[in-house]
Structure 1
Amino acid sequence: MARQTAVRIPTGISSGSGTIVRQQGQTYTVLTNWRVVAIGLVNDDSLLHPLLRVLRRLGDIDRAIVQFRSAIEYKIAPFTI
């Protein structure tokens, strides 16, 4: 499950990761680190998806919520607050 809900975020020098936590139609929401927010992300299928938008940085901590759009259906990680 972890591999199916994880994304890789290439930053040019290295890469970071994130987890798909929500789907609304073809829009997916990803929880990641603020320091790795870049122009796109790569799913388990190795396809590069441009970021649709960076929703927000979460407070003063190194977390961010970003979105991408895809017609491909991806798994969603169970996420509760």
Structure 2
Amino acid sequence: MAQISVKVVFDAKGGADAETICEKASEHGLTVEQVQRAMGVIFGQCDDSVVDKLEALDGVLRVSPEGTFQLPPLSPDKPQ
């Protein structure tokens, strides 16, 4: 299984507790990197097989994999 970066969106306005969600998400395998309580977002990394378990947690609205991109190699023939 592959490690992916994810964004866990929780219901901050509905009273969901960020600490509780972080604790339960960590038990399921999420490595929490950053918590934005006011925005209702937790950023972290987990195995891609864990996403469904994270989405099932109380107070979690959605779990979105973070996309990645890569620029092409530098070349004088192609502007960047």
Greater fraction helix:
2
Bigger Cα Rg: 2
Task: Return the TM-score normalized by structure 2.
Answer: 0.38
Task: Return the TM-score normalized by structure 1.
Answer: 0.38
Q: Quick one: higher RCO (CA 8 Å, sep 6+), 1 or 2? A: 2
